[in-house]
Structure 1
């Protein structure tokens, strides 16, 4: 695996450690917030505000990384803020401070995402992008298996001891910070920009970006508008009769499938093309949501979540590989930051839309709506040309 360079290994280990810390707290976060006085509405406002902060900052800091020609400082600061936020969630229990700390965590994600993905892109060639992004995604998602598994084990022996978990989560977060010091810039820093970078300057990239980028990202964002939070899938499983432990177990199972398949599907995508794998992922997603709408059998949920893990492995890394292949190297962080930033906003809207349809017409209508919308996006992507790597001389 000579294409898995030192940079890819370090970034993958950093993501593994950080996701282990974050996902250790994912199952207990709503429960913990309620124990310190947060209502369901306030929890929703908190998460929405935090995700909006992450979304908008991804675009800005991606643009700033490209402007400065620096990647590593953004990665170090971003992972550092996320790690520090873990124990602070246990230390500060007043709503204002919890809002601030949770936003700090998501802000860290916004700072690092574009620069990190640009480093991954720089460490690969057009023919190995899917492998590299797939390997990183496998390691990152492995953290979503280890974190909740540890949380379940810990709470089995120490029920309701939520605060200690926040302190424990700082340990892998700290190790992630230390690992980032093994990173080195892949290119020389650019000259210091003469003018400042306005916060929304990344939005100008849409107009200046290559036409293939706009066509691909438009389709991906349309899909995201109907791809709501995984919470709705877990809620459907809960309503079908799974207890809390089984719901968390099925979430861990999904992430395990996701982690195990991301790298092999990346290898396959580099062999047969990114587009066929992405289309297969969308088709699988539509099938999963249609199945969720009609299924009432508890055991079949494991099959649906297996397919859901396959869909995630076939789309997340592949989409970033596609985007990085059709944009100029000097704009990689801006291109991915703009996409992931807008994606975060669309995800918020998707969850609101799904929640509204579920409330008004029921779970079946919500899942069928998503499945049908995904089929429309699937047909749209049949009209999108397969990615052709862009060079500095390629016209936009």
Structure 2
């Protein structure tokens, strides 16, 4: 049964509560003007009316995550731009949980999405909104997953797409962004992408699928709510709210969306509490801001990282708000060796090949467990945001060469005995 949209047709700032009527396209990727002037940038996010609702909207006639479209910022009549995203499995890691002394450790395996990352959730909702708004083209600044997802969904929507990336990203990422038909150009310095993107948005009216402010405020407001569906699925799969959810974090789009999804479930009376949210980040901007009690998230010292897709010196206000609202934590993991070692252990202990920016979550869990920060009976979910196949070179550098042996048992035994 189709349920009427509960979206109020407006965006609001989580920091100062200012509201803006939809479509506030001039704010997308740029955030709240008042908070920008205050020096504490914050994104603007969709508002909903959940009064009187007592169940989670679930329309089986809608594709992918659009089964929950009544809680997405869309008109009911707008055709869904979908590739069957969402509904990803929750995979138990019993050996890892036992090793860490946890009640349960599970991976929400977002590698099963159409472009093998959780960015498909954002792209599906954002591209549907692009169709609703009747834009001529979309543009995104990305080092890989975000750009690939936007390119794929733009192809599905038959919309021109331009991806602004950086020259240093792995060739696999560039291929993924190009194969869906996007025009991909690389710039030497990451901030140059945002300046060029803002010109395209302001001068040509293209819709920004990611942020273009400096310092960053996060991605397109409508798309962030695509991540709410992760919370809905976690409750459905577990039958309860997990104790902790650990999210790879840069500008906190996923962290914010998951927080908002659990807030919906509490408001609907389907959950009696929020999970503790944990941001796993290479260099610690959210953790530093939490410790300092500030609303300004970064910059902090940063450098190259194997977790390049989340290796930002900045976080965002809404990411900080998600952590504060749930009694959450932020765990910095700057050590590439530890991240790649965790990637290998997830492969050996669970049979999952996650990208380095996802494997960072296991290091965060291990640090919290070692410090006594996780109860022995805790149920912990880590978000496996993307597949390791997108940067095979980094993984291969940690593995021994594959030996060539004679076709005899003796030769094989000699090699295996090593």
Settle same-fold status: TM greater than 0.5.
no
**Which one has the bigger helix percentage?**
1
Greater RCO (Cα-Cα under 8 Å, separation 6 or more): 1
Normalising by structure 2, we get a TM-score of 0.23
